[in-house]
Amino acid sequence: MSRVLLENIVKVYQGGFEAVKDACLDIADREFVVIVGPSGCGKTTTLRMIAGLEEITSGQISIGDRIVNDIAPKNRDIAMVFQNYALYPHMTVFDNMAFGLKLRKNSKAEVASRVKDAAEILGIEKLLKRKPKALSGGQRQRVALGRAIVRKPKAFLYDEPLSNLDAKLRVTMRTELKSLHQRLETTSIYVTHDQAEAMTLGDRICVMHEGIIQQVDQPMEVYNRPVNRFVAGFLGTPHMNFVEGKIETVGNSVFFNFSAGKIELPARMNECLNAKNGRDVVFGFRAENVSIASKDDKKSSINAKVEVVEPLGDRLNVYFNIKCMTSEKWLVANLDPHVRLTPGQTLRFKLNMDKTHVFDKGDTGKNLTLQERAEM
Ligand SMILES: Nc1ncnc2c1ncn2[C@@H]1O[C@H](COP(=O)(O)OP(=O)(O)OP(=O)(O)O)[C@@H](O)[C@H]1O
Ligand SMILES: [Mg+2]
């Protein structure tokens, strides 16, 4: 069993900067968890504490059934894959992959067999005699993975392993990594600031911001039910649209009232919002939940001017401007590519209200409209 458990982990660097604040994370045996967040949020620090490369200020880390706080990195039985591969340039691919095993005094035959198996899994059997400089970026990354696989560790720790690759290769390697995990089923913790990588790779994703874990859940759950405005805005391309306004309750109905109009909120939000008349809030909706309203469809729609049309091939991003009293506010819709729109044109955009959110306007930006998850 290789569960990895972080309990109340704190990291304060010399000088007093608190990079990780009371992090709790329970990673199950065989699970693939992705830690995602913007630059500087504490991802690498967290990973390095798990690896033992960084001292923990307070809290406890367990790998398998051992508390590892005081165990040296080399005895933690984990393998780390870095962004810059860290291959030895003067060694062949074989020797790079064998290096860690030889250090651990495995027999020659055992080393050869493990390297061969890993090379086969990664499709690099023919490269074993080459030196790293004679490899492409993708091949180097495979060697770096190979070096981790041969050790058969309790857990893999990945720190942005694909970020040195070009966009196309990143996507290919991402799929390979997922397939690799499905075969090896080794507990994996993967750090990235790329939300697409997080969504596609993780059994669960852990969103971090300013040293604090914001939400840990399955990717679609985090995408559809973000706990706060930060998480909502971080996941998804284009970013979620946010509009500031106020809650207005009229009888049994609840409205979002903003400078360009008033939208009736769906009944599912009544319970959460009907005591919040007059509260400053931020209304959020994703670009894919916007469509063009039919002529007599005034409900749940916003009157707006088309500003920029961006064809993506399979979809169309349309930036539209809602009339606000003093300032302009650009929002974005992701539409079927066959609609014909011209910049300057005015029309009504309809929102799929089932997928909208209302966030607190204050610092926390808490999602005010999350109800308990329905029993599966
Ligand atoms: N040795 C150090 N001493 C002091 N502060 C540090 C040290 N290492 C990192 N930090 C700070 O801790 C914070 C978290 O750093 P960390 O490297 O964990 O971020 P990250 O989430 O991995 O970011 P990135 O996506 O840019 O790699 C940053 O503000 C960073 O400046
Ligand atoms: Mg980092």
Half-sphere exposure of 53 (CA within 13 A, CB side): 12
CATH second-level architecture of 241-360? Beta Barrel (2.40)
- The residue with tokens 């920029």 is 308
The structure tokens listed for 27 are 């990673």
Topology of the domain covering 4-234: Rossmann fold (3.40.50)
For a pocket test of ligand 1, which of 20, 41, 53, 160 has the largest count of ligand atoms closer than 8 A to its C-beta?
Answer: 41
Is the pLDDT confidence value at 326 over 80? no
The three-class DSSP label of residue 28 is coil
Render pLDDT for 166-176 as a digit per residue (tens, 0 to 9). Answer: 888 889 889 98
Render pLDDT for 289-314 as a digit per residue (tens, 0 to 9). Answer: 999 998 777 788 899 999 999 999 99
The structure tokens listed for 113 are 């067999």
User: Distance, CA 206 to ligand 1 centroid (Å)?
Assistant: 17
Residues 171 and 169: their CA atoms lie apart, in Å, by 5
Burial class (CB in 10 A: 0-12, 13-18, 19+), 299: exposed
Residues 219 and 203: their CA atoms lie apart, in Å, by 7
CA-CA-CA-CA torsion sign (218, 223, 227, 233) = positive
Residues 98 and 151: their CA atoms lie apart, in Å, by 9
Alpha helices for 185-321 (secondary structure H): 195-201, 219-224, 229-234, 270-273
Q: pLDDT > 90: what percent of the chain?
A: 78
Stretch 111-129: mean pLDDT, rounded? 92
Predicted local distance difference test score (pLDDT) of residue 324: 67
Is the pLDDT confidence value at 375 over 60? no
Ligand nearest to the CA of 41: 1
Q: Are 60 and 67 in contact (CB under 8 A)?
A: yes
Which CA distances in Å does 205 have to 98, 189, 246, 283? 32, 10, 32, 24
Render pLDDT for 245-257 as a digit per residue (tens, 0 to 9). Answer: 999 999 889 999 9
Is the pLDDT confidence value at 325 over 70? no
Ligand nearest to the CA of 37: 1
Whether 42 is in the pocket of ligand 1, judged by its Cβ within 6 Å, is: yes
Is the pLDDT confidence value at 1 over 90? no
Nearest CA to ligand 1 atom 5: 13
Predicted local distance difference test score (pLDDT) of residue 261: 87
Per-domain residue ranges of the chain: 4-234, 241-360
Predicted local distance difference test score (pLDDT) of residue 376: 43
Alpha helices for 204-351 (secondary structure H): 219-224, 229-234, 270-273
CA angle 275, 281, 287 (to 5 degrees): 125
Render pLDDT for 172-217 as a digit per residue (tens, 0 to 9). Answer: 889 989 999 999 999 999 999 999 999 999 999 999 999 999 999 9
Predicted local distance difference test score (pLDDT) of residue 12: 98
In whole numbers, what is the pLDDT of the chain averaged over residues? 92
For a pocket test of ligand 1, which of 21, 43, 206 has the largest count of ligand atoms closer than 8 A to its C-beta?
Answer: 43
Is the pLDDT confidence value at 373 over 60? no
Q: Are 225 and 268 in contact (CB under 8 A)?
A: no
First to last CA, the chain: 27
